[in-house]
Structure 1
């Protein structure tokens, strides 16, 4: 989990399209993508932006180059709050169009992407996701019970993000971190970066102990708010503790269990008494954590079918509908399939 932020562009006029296409073209060329891959990416970006202008008139494009265990990739989200796609399966077929064009856009995006998804709600908008690897990974099926994804965007005018997230396997379980440095900019970024380093090195399983450890190690920084969630496979329980306004929800189907954190600032003043909250683990749960760059009053029931999608699409849909656009914005989701 690399915390590489997304570039973001609001698109409300066709004049922006050529600029964005050139920016992404130059980015992937500099990252070492082959000419063939760059050409395929050009097509994907062209289809995304032209469909956005044509059908929704305005929206937002998020993109970044990052790395995972399969290699270097370009990741793109195209977000809008338009009319949605009424019959998605039909519109994915080549030759089908609602605007008297060739109707190859959505199908081309799917074919040229290493991974792609489309989530759409009539009269509420659409999330289109595309991931393109620099070199296609070997077709080896890797069994995993944890799937995660995140969207992270800097506050307007900033080049570094004061939010951060991390995940690590620990003992017979897995531990998650979400933090938000006070304010935004370089000082907030330094605080959350130090917190992530402390989280990574700490071997305590109790979220309370991890937070106390982080607290001692970030005292020279601006400070932050943070929440730790630990899933113990053996005990079949979640343990959570947080200080400050990180929003944390655990979904079993559409039924949420919301965690309420303590007041305070990690690195400055934390309560003397902290206790881990305990929640029962259930199969096929989804953990969602986000900073206060997103509005906290949302309900997944307003996004029908969203839990069938990958965590990165869940994160993008929540960002689309709830981003404040006046602070750093990070939303993280993990699906637990045990």
Structure 2
């Protein structure tokens, strides 16, 4: 799932570009025409809202795993640093608009209806983040399956079509394992390495993190290699175990404090260390894991807003990516952020606590 689409939206011509990006993503996911139409509509509404209400922003389209783990879903993000939304509940209702006269005011409400999952986080004066997921089947298997407590966002260096970063989650019994891989370099060969790591996760998700990394090392030998972080939650032990090799990082929040879990030097698939340290930390209802590639600025600040921390992980990841960069400080590498959290969603669209 290394294919990514990134569309800066600063004038009306980019609304069409956002719609085309959604269409291409739906085609890559193998969607039927009706599903593609839903993706195009949501992308058009989100991009239009960026122009009308935020003075512009960024659309990002990723291919992700749906809740039931079968097939491929399309995730559409919109990120802005605009004025924010004072009343989210009102904004999600049809007929509401803060734009000029003549607006139908149906944008966000339409997204809420057409997307299989719609998440929105907004704060006055800080901007808005939305995440809309279109599943392969409307109201099908994905809708009947509990949402996984994992989410993420990926962007490519220079808005390239392929990204060397990838993240994924998989279950094995009651264990939930999250992987983030940063293929060495950029482009198709880096994407091949990270995709190989994701494929191996599906075959070995039940292995402890250090053993999984060793297995990944064997699987990635035919590739150029990758930096990899693995995190595994064991709900029976109320514990999260983390291990990593290469220049990727992770932080775990418990209570009011963050613990940084540094990866061990090396390259999975090329130079594997003799010993891989494993970090074990308590995993509670207030815990949160943020894993990221080195495309995220080294001095990024973990979020502290309680309302954001209680959101769907995909929104948390997108907000971290948005707040870590700016037009004056663009990303200098492929960048991915993946978040793991206890399943504690608060409303159908996660607008606020």
TM-score normalised by length of structure 2: 0.81
Aligned counterpart in structure 2 of residue 326 of structure 1, from 325, 329, 332:
332
RMSD between aligned alpha carbons? 3.1
Q: What does 1:160-309 correspond to in 2, within 5 Å?
A: 160-170=162-172, 172-202=174-204, 205-252=207-254, 254-296=256-298, 297-301=300-304, 303-309=305-311
Distance of 1:213 and 1:26 partners within structure 2:
34
Q: What does 1:27-46 correspond to in 2, within 5 Å?
A: 28=26, 31-34=30-33, 41-46=39-44
Q: Where does the alignment leave 5 or more consecutive residues of structure 1 unmatched?
A: none
Structure number, greater radius of gyration: 1
Distance of 1:135 and 1:201 partners within structure 2:
25
Q: What does 1:22-171 correspond to in 2, within 5 Å?
A: 22-25=20-23, 28=26, 31-34=30-33, 41-64=39-62, 68=66, 69=68, 73-99=73-99, 100=101, 101-133=103-135, 135-138=137-140, 142=144, 144=146, 146-156=148-158, 158-170=160-172
Distance of 1:316 and 1:140 partners within structure 2:
22
Deviates more, 1:131-140 or 1:305-314: 131-140
Count residues in correspondence.
334
Aligned counterpart in structure 1 of residue 319 of structure 2, from 317, 320, 326:
317
Please give the secondary structure, in 2, of the residue aligned with 1:305. Answer: helix
TM superposition shift of 1:227: 1.6
Please give the secondary structure, in 1, of the residue aligned with 2:193. Answer: helix
Q: Where does the alignment leave 5 or more consecutive residues of structure 2 unmatched?
A: 345-353
Map Cα deviations across residues 9-53 of structure 1 (whole Å, 9 max, x no partner).
Answer: 111122222343345457657955445x65555543333222211
Cα contact 2:200–2:216 (8 A) shared by 1: yes
Distance of 2:173 and 2:135 partners within structure 1:
32
Cα contact 1:254–1:300 (8 A) shared by 2: no
TM superposition shift of 1:333: 1.4
Distance of 2:38 and 2:273 partners within structure 1:
54
Distance of 2:132 and 2:205 partners within structure 1:
36
Cα contact 1:285–1:337 (8 A) shared by 2: no
TM-score normalised by length of structure 1: 0.84
TM superposition shift of 1:220: 4.1
> Are residue 12 (structure 1) and residue 27 (structure 2) matched?
no
